[in-house]
Structures are given as structure tokens and as C-alpha cells.
Chain A
Amino acid sequence: MTRFRTLYGKHPLHLVGHIAVIAVTAYLLSIMFQARFAPQPLNLALWLLGGAVLHDAVFLPIYGVVNTLLSRGVGAGDGTPLKDLAMGPAESAVDTETVAAGADDDVAANLVSASRPSRDAERAVPVINHIRTPLVISGVLFVVFLPRILERQPQNFVNALGHEPPDFLARWFFVTGLLVAASALLYAVRRLRA
């Protein structure tokens, strides 16, 4: 048993489970790829892997970069540079173990300084979440309802429902506008009360 763990890295059941799922998947794929169901096997393969690859290689880097630029651009609002923005008490995430486990000195220093809240920053109302929140909600709505918002295959809609589709794009702009306005209003109220 110990020898198996050393060689494989986990309990034997871990291996059994993985082999079982991989075997079942291979069998299920052999059904899905039958020529009568998938006359263009490449197309099915692209769909099976495309979502994961697009997400990890395109979608995630884009929103990551947007978020980073946004964070640098607006700081904490109020002109407080972001690096001085304190972590709230629940968020002063100093993992002592990580520090002790030999993270280099810079990192340790960084952690310690980041965990010391400044009073000014506590009072500041960070603008960044008032930008990110409507952006995230409206972005996800766009992704989820993309086929109708961008009017893909509009004839399908007419064939099924018997009339022209409504302007889903206009509705999306309307909802986005609503979210931005609500977020801005909330920010103004918070600033006035701060």
C-alpha cells in the first residue's frame, strides 16, 4: 500500500475512480461520434473542447486584464492609491504558515504591510466595485443571452413564434443602463454619508 502511494501519489480508490470515469467517457464518446449522429466529427470535437479552451485561453485572460487595468486606473476612488487601501479585519489574510513555510522576504514584508489597516482607507468608499458590479452582471447577461441579443439565426425565431423577434439588444442596453445608474446612485449616497 505504501509502495503504491509512493509510486502513484494517492489511494488506490483514486486510481479506480479515474479509470472508471475515463473508460465510461470513452464509451459515451464512441456513441456521440457515430457517423449517424455526428456526420462532421471535427465539429463535435470542437464543441466538446471549445468552451473550456475559449474560457481559459481567451475569456479569462481578457477579464483578468480588464480587472487589473481597472484596479490600477481607479485605485480606491477618492484618490487613495490602491496599494494603501487597507484590508478589512476579516480580510487581513496573513497565512502565518505560508510566511513561515519560506515564502521569500519580500512576500512576507508585503503580507505584513498589507495587514496593517490605515484609518483613512477604512473611511474611503472604493469606487471600483461600483464599476465592476454592473459590468459583471451585464456581461454575464450578454454571454447567457448572446444568441438572441446578437440575433443569431433570426429566422428560427420567426418560424417558431410566428412574428419578428423583439429588440433584445435594446433591452440589454436598457438593463445595463439601469444597473450602471443604480450603482452610481448608490456610490453617490455612500460618498455623501462617508
Chain B
Amino acid sequence: MGLIPDVPPPGPARAGFWRSPVRSAWLTTIIGSLLLLCIVIVSVTGFLSHAAYQPDLGRNDLIPRDLDLQLFVISWPTSPSWLYALTQGSHVTFGFVMVPLLLFKLWSVIPKLFWPLPTSPAKALEKLANLLLVGSAFFQVLTGLTNAQLYYPWHFNFVVAHYYGAWIFVASVVLHVAVKFPTMREARRTRNEVLGMAGDELRSPNPGPTTISRRGVLGLLGATTGAVFLTTVGQSAGGPFRQIALFAPRGRGEVGPGRFPVNKTAKVARITPEMVGDGWRLKLTGPGGRAVELTRADLLAMEQRTYDLPIACVEGWSSTQTWTGVRLADLAALVGATSPRTMRVVSLQPRGAFKQTTIGRAQVAADESLLALKVGGEDLPLDHGYPARVIVPALPGVHCTKWVETMVFA
């Protein structure tokens, strides 16, 4: 390796340039472990969200079905009803919380970024793998947190990029943990913080004056993640937390008609009053081609059920409301569909990715699955899907189709 000088040029490439006396393998292990926990939560809930969209049904596949690595497509349950509110609320909240964890983690290892050129093929590969790791970490966090804040500054398919970017990230994290595991184990075993771990590359050989202790750094990290958590979580958790969710798009007071959030207004969906007036009919089609048309009065004359169910958005917010309407299973029975395999729902909205959707057997059969006509004891507001919308326990909000026009049971 004669090409590489023994002594790096003055500046950040020299270990002594970095003088923070708190950097050490021990500190990085603690921060890294916390970050890893956060990554596990965000990854698992992310892949679960992919399953919750039931991409195996109808035209639900936002990522074309023939593409690889769509591994966790399970039949999505309807119980507990708050399942998607929990998983997706966690995905978004912990995705936000990951930002300070990632920044602190990178701060703790930053001298290594500048350290001399790799001295062996193994070190060169590690540098490349670290680029994939850090690149995909920022890619996932930045695309996720902008998307959850209704900001779309890119020119690519978000769902495809965020899904496959997640696989790059997960693969890089697994490799990184495998490579660093011995160091982590040894650093954690190091009881004696003063002497530290032998050969600790993160410890400055030229430490500056101590201005903060390691506990201080961890305390600051805790306070920062806590601040992000507390100003976000209320849009999912509700209750008193909603009042302090100052920065979440659907936090404090950012509610719509019916006093709970809307994700797409009737105006934007191009729903006009004429479309939902007296001329509106619900068109049902059964497996044998049997068809029935119902007015809103017909629907109100049927047996009404009332349930408290959360509506939960992929953007992380959720809200539990009291819904009243007709059971989907009762509507299926009207057209001779007993235990239908799927139900395709088409909205009045002229276009949009979620103009139509398909739900599965469990969703149609569940007792709490409704074609809702009322919410909170009053007629659905137009923005919430008047004259009728689907509400199914544990189903992502965008699949709870609003302004329903047609339901096809198969």
C-alpha cells in the first residue's frame, strides 16, 4: 500500500483534529442501539403498511405485482380495529424521531468519515457499504418526513422508491450491525469508562476540554427526541397529546368538518352537489351479475349499526369516530353474495389513485365493516364522503372509500 501516505495531511483526516472528549465506542454503542431500535420499529411497521394495502387484490397494487421482494403480503386482519392506527402512527412518529437519533449517531462517528484512505480491500468495501447505509438512511427519512408533511419535492414514484429504498436500508443496516457487533459487545462490556476500550478508534488522541459529559450528551439526545415525539405523536394518539402536537400536520386543532381531519376535500376530488343529490344511487352487483340500486333513504331504512372505529391515514394521523350505517355483509346479501371473496368499491370521484379499491373476504365479513351514512350521529359531511363511505376496522384510510357509487361483490 505504498500509494497511501503513512501520515495524512493536516486537517480532518488526522485523528487529533477531532477533539471532543466524549466520543467513544461506548457512547456510539448506546446511541447506535437506540437508533437500531427505532429502525426496527419503522421497518416492521413500514412493511406491515405495504401488507395493509392488500396489494394482492384487484388494482390495489401501487407497486406492480410482478416486481420482486414483496414478501410480507399477508391477509390483513380486521381486529383489533386500531391495528393500522397503531402501526402507521408508529411508522410516522418514530420516523420523525429517527432524525435526531441519526444526527447524533453520525456526530459520534464523524471522524471516521475523514480518516485516511482505506488500507485494505476490506476497508474499501466497508466505506462503500457505509455510503449505501448513510445514503439510504437519509433517503428514507427525508422522503418519509416530507411526504408525511404533504410536501412532494421530487420527480419519482414515492411508493416504489420508499419501498425499495427501505430494502437497501435494511440490508445495509443488517450488514453494518454484523460488522460492528463485536465492537458493540466489547464497548458495552467496558465498565471502566475512564480507560475505555482498547484500540477505540473513536476516542480522540487529542481531547479538548470537557464541556459536556457522556450522560449530558445522552440527556440532550433524550430531550431532543422527546421534543420531536411530543410535538408529533398527538396526531395519532389523540387525547391530551393532540393539544401539544404543535408541528404535526394533523395535530392541534388542524381538523376538518365533523371535527376530525380530512385527507382529500370534495372540491379537490371534484365531487359536485349534483353528483350527491337526490339522483344519487348506490349500485350493487353480485357474483351472478345480480344488480340492485338503492337510494340513501333505502339504505337508511335498512338495519343500522353504530360502532366506534378509528380512521387511520398512511400519513400517520388517526381519529376514532362513531360511525353509523349498513353492514357490508348485509349489502352483499342483497345481491346474493354470501361470504364474497372480494368487494370492489368505486367512488364518484372522476379520477385519482384511490378512485376505486378492493377489499378482501375478512373485511367484507367483519361485523364492524360498514357503509357509513352518519358520523357522530349526524349525516356525513360532504368532505367525509356524503352520501356514503366505507369504514372497515384496521383498514388504511385511503381504502375506506368516500362518495361510494358502485360496489361489486365477487
Contact B213 A90 (CB under 8 A): yes
Question: Residues 118-156 of chain B: 1 if any A CB is under 8 Å from the residue's CB, otherwise 0?
Answer: 011111011011011011111101110110011111111
How many residues on the B side are at the interface (Cβ–Cβ under 8 A)?
99
- Inter-chain CA distance A97–B201, complex, in Å, is 12
Contact A18 B154 (CB under 8 A): no
State whether A160 and B155 are in contact (beta carbons under 8 Å apart), knowing that A107-B16, A107-B206 are contacts in the complex. Answer: no
Asked whether A10 is an interface residue with its Cβ less than 8 Å from the other chain, the reply is yes
Contact B213 A162 (CB under 8 A): no
Within the complex, which residue of B146, B157, B228, B262 is in contact with A141, where a contact is CB–CB below 8 Å? B228
State whether A160 and B139 are in contact (beta carbons under 8 Å apart), knowing that A43-B154, A90-B194 are contacts in the complex. Answer: no
Within the complex, which residue of B171, B196, B254 is in contact with A166, where a contact is CB–CB below 8 Å? B254
Contact A17 B178 (CB under 8 A): yes
Question: Residues 150-185 of chain A: 1 if any B CB is under 8 Å from the residue's CB, otherwise 0?
Answer: 001100110111110110100110110000000000
A interface residue count range (under 10 / 10 to 19 / 20 to 34 / 35 or more)? 35 or more
Chain A residues in 8 Å Cβ range of B294: none
Asked whether A66 is an interface residue with its Cβ less than 8 Å from the other chain, the reply is no
- Inter-chain CA distance A161–B288, complex, in Å, is 40
Contact B21 A87 (CB under 8 A): yes
Contact A48 B157 (CB under 8 A): no
- Inter-chain CA distance A108–B100, complex, in Å, is 34
- Inter-chain CA distance A92–B194, complex, in Å, is 6
Asked whether A91 is an interface residue with its Cβ less than 8 Å from the other chain, the reply is yes
State whether A162 and B160 are in contact (beta carbons under 8 Å apart), knowing that A18-B125, A129-B216, A133-B223 are contacts in the complex. Answer: no
With CB as the reference atom, state the residue of chain A lying closest to B157: A37
Contact A43 B156 (CB under 8 A): yes
Asked whether B86 is an interface residue with its Cβ less than 8 Å from the other chain, the reply is no
- Inter-chain CA distance A3–B283, complex, in Å, is 75
Question: Residues 10-33 of chain B: 1 if any A CB is under 8 Å from the residue's CB, otherwise 0?
Answer: 000000100001101000000000
Asked whether B5 is an interface residue with its Cβ less than 8 Å from the other chain, the reply is no
- Inter-chain CA distance A107–B206, complex, in Å, is 6
State whether A8 and B120 are in contact (beta carbons under 8 Å apart), knowing that A103-B205, A153-B152 are contacts in the complex. Answer: yes
Within the complex, which residue of A87, A98, A140, A152 is in contact with B151, where a contact is CB–CB below 8 Å? A152
B267 nearest CB across to chain A (Å): 8
With CB as the reference atom, state the residue of chain A lying closest to B251: A166
State whether A82 and B205 are in contact (beta carbons under 8 Å apart), knowing that A140-B103, A144-B99 are contacts in the complex. Answer: no
- Inter-chain CA distance A136–B156, complex, in Å, is 32
Chain A residues in 8 Å Cβ range of B71: none
Within the complex, which residue of A31, A56, A140 is in contact with B160, where a contact is CB–CB below 8 Å? A31
- Inter-chain CA distance A142–B302, complex, in Å, is 52
Extra contacts, 19 of them, besides A48-B136, A137-B224 (Cβ < 8 A), are A7-B121, A8-B122, A9-B122, A14-B125, A15-B125, A25-B171, A39-B155, A40-B156, A44-B161, A56-B113, A71-B211, A107-B205, A114-B21, A136-B220, A143-B103, A144-B99, A157-B150, A160-B265, A171-B246
